[in-house]
């Protein structure tokens, strides 16, 4: 059984300056992680097994969980692996700066994703009730409206980049309607949400920008309540205070937009690089939900999920995990773990046990909404653009990754006008 190399008895625990990626530890950020995250996961699995020591932005130490069963053990056992980062040892002992971009993803906030037990149930209940209300008010109508509007902007050109001109922006437009925001705020919010997840020096500024827009929204809705998600949160019987309302607006906005836009781009990529799938969808013989399911296994929108914190010293995947250690969950790696999928070529059709929506108490409560957005968006696109096809060879499509996600860069297409 091995300790984290930065947590061993003779090493200063998690000292970022002294080690700086030296020690042979793998960084989950930087040039290699941006271009070859899958290569990194495969190498780490080979070298360390189902759990590997890694460095996150700022060379902060963490464990990357690569095994499917180990991911499920962590996610399904909040008593051993808490979501509440206030027990994170490197942060408590002052080795992680409060202004670090990492804190945008891992740091504590008064929202449901940062809590466990009863406080989590109370806050998640408020979010869930309001997401159900959103779903029952006809989310597909909003998607159809904005999808058509987006397509109108490029339909005459006969060509488009479906990442920049469709997938990157559509879910946020739908969210502006759901939240009660002006449509014009959508682009700024989409850009800022992407930057928060990407990390880097600008992440904090972009988070502030999001909080300012949402703060103004909350103030307006206090004076003029409506039938929207924001008003619903404020009036919920769980009695959220102002900070809790704001933090949940932020959480839902970022969680819903970045994942759904990434997933939409990947679904379109899969459809357009395989003419059998494309013609199956156009003729109605193939259901889009089957394609979405396939992508959930192969390229889940969140490749690595932040984060869980060990509540005691324990063993996981042959490694000694110490109380207060940070663990991040390799959802992409877990989905292709040879222990559960010795042959990744075998179809996963009808099997929904992928890790893309996480599992346990924090499993995504917005998955039906995300899937409804994607299904409607693909449907509208295929009906509006006859003869839709990829404008480049499939192998020319590239993606760029941060620690948490790998996003398709461009999806150039052509169609009949």
Hey, is 35 helix, strand or coil?
A: helix
**Of 49-57, 230-238, 309-317, 362-370, which part binds ligand HEM (CB under 6 A)?**
362-370
399 beta partners: 408
Closest to ligand HEM by CB, 317 vs 370, is 370
Place of tokens 């469709």: 166
Q: Per rule CB under 6 A, is residue 281 in the interface with ligand HEM?
A: no
Structure tokens belonging to residue 327: 């663990």
Q: Which regions of 4-106 does DSSP assign to beta strands (E)?
A: 26-27, 51-56, 60-65, 81-82
Window contacting ligand HEM (CB under 6 A); options: 27-35, 153-161, 251-259, 338-346: 251-259
Q: Give yes or no for a contact between 276 and 241, defined as CB atoms under 8 angstroms apart.
A: no
Verify binding: residue 260, ligand HEM, rule CB under 6 A: yes
Out of 155, 251, 382, 397, the only residue in the binding site for ligand HEM (CB under 6 A) is 251
Q: Using the rule CB under 6 A, is 112 a contact of ligand HEM?
A: yes
Q: Report d(CA 205, CA 374) in Å as an integer.
A: 30
**Residue 410, SS3 per DSSP:** coil
Task: Please identify which residue in the block is written with the tokens 């590239």.
Answer: 398
Closest approach, Cβ 248 to ligand HEM, in A, equals 7
Q: Residues 300-319 vs ligand HEM: string with x where CB under 6 A?
A: -xx--x--------------
Regarding 334 and contact with ligand HEM (CB under 6 A), the answer is no
Minimum CB distance to ligand HEM, residue 113 (Å): 4
Rounded (10°) angle between helices 203-223 and 186-198? 140
Min dist. Cβ of residue 393 to ligand HEM (A)? 28
16 counts as binding ligand HEM under rule CB under 6 A: no
Beta partners for residue 149, in sequence order: none
Residue nearest to ligand HEM (CB): 366
Stretch that binds ligand HEM, among 184-192, 198-206, 297-305, 380-388 (CB under 6 A): 297-305
**DSSP-H helix ranges across 224-241:** 229-235
SS3 state at 347: coil
Report the distance separating Cα 37 and Cα 31, nearest Å: 10
Per CB under 6 A, does 256 bind ligand HEM? yes
- SS3 category, 329: strand
Tokens of 211: 């909080």
- In the set 6, 28, 190, 263, which binds ligand HEM (CB under 6 A)? 263
Q: Which stretch binds ligand HEM (CB under 6 A): 124-132, 211-219, 313-321, 405-413?
A: 124-132
In three-state secondary structure terms, 270 is helix
Nearer Cβ to ligand HEM (65/369): 369
Helix (H, G, I), strand (E, B) or coil at 38: helix
Cα separation of 230 and 244, whole Å? 12
d(C-alpha 248, C-alpha 340), whole Å: 35
Range in contact with ligand HEM (rule: CB under 6 A) among 62-70, 255-263, 318-326, 343-351 = 255-263
Beta strands 319-321 and 314-316, pairing class = antiparallel
- What x-and-dash track marks residues 79-98 binding ligand HEM by CB under 6 A? ----x---------------
**Rule CB under 6 A: is residue 143 a binding residue for ligand HEM?**
no
Nearer to ligand HEM, 143 or 162 (CB): 143
Written as six digits, the tokens of 331 are 């959802």
Chain residues binding ligand HEM by CB under 6 A are 83, 112-113, 124, 127, 131, 251-252, 255-256, 259-260, 263, 301-302, 305, 356-358, 362, 364-367, 369-370
């Amino acid at each position: 059984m091995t300790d984290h190399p930065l947590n061993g008895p003779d090493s200063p625990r998690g000292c970022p300056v002294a080690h700086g990626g030296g020690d042979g530890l793998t960084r989950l950020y930087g040039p290699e992680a941006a271009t070859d995250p899958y290569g990194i996961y495969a190498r780490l699995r080979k070298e360390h097994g189902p759990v590997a020591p890694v460095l996150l932005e700022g060379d902060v130490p963490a464990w990357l969980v690569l095994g499917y069963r180990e991911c499920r053990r962590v996610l399904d056992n909040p008593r051993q692996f808490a979501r509440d980062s206030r027990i994170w040892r490197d942060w408590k002992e002052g080795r992680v700066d409060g202004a670090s971009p990492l804190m945008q993803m891992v740091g504590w906030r008064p929202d449901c994703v940062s809590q466990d037990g009863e406080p989590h149930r109370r806050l998640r209940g408020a979010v869930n009730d309001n997401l159900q209300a959103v779903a029952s008010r006809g989310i597909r109508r909003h998607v159809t409206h904005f999808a058509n509007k987006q397509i109108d902007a490029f339909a005459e050109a006969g060509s488009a980049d479906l990442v920049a001109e469709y997938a990157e922006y559509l879910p946020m437009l739908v969210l502006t309607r759901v939240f009660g925001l002006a449509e014009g705020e959508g682009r700024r919010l989409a850009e800022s949400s992407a930057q928060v997840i990407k990390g880097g020096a600008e992440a904090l500024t972009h988070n502030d920008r999001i909080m300012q827009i949402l703060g103004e929204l909350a103030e307006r809705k206090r004076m003029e309540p409506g039938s929207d998600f924001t008003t619903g949160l404020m009036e919920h019987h769980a009695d959220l205070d102002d900070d809790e309302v704001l933090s949940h607006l932020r959480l839902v906005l970022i969680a819903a937009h970045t994942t759904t836009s990434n997933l939409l781009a990947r679904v379109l990529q899969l459809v357009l690089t395989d003419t059998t799938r494309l013609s199956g969808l156009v003729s109605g013989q193939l259901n889009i939900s089957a394609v979405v399911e396939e992508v959930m296994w192969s390229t889940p929108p969140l490749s690595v999920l932040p984060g869980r914190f060990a509540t005691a010293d324990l063993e996981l995947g042959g490694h000694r995990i110490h109380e207060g250690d940070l663990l991040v969950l390799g959802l992409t790696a877990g989905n292709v773990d040879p222990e559960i999928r010795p042959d990744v070529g075998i179809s996963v059709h009808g099997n929904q046990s992928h890790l893309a929506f996480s599992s346990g108490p924090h499993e995504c409560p917005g998955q039906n909404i995300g899937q409804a957005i994607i299904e409607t968006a693909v449907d509208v696109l295929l009906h509006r653009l006859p003869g839709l096809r990829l404008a480049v060879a499939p192998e020319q499509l590239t993606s760029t990754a941060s620690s948490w996600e790998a996003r398709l860069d461009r999806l150039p297409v052509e169609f009949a006008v």
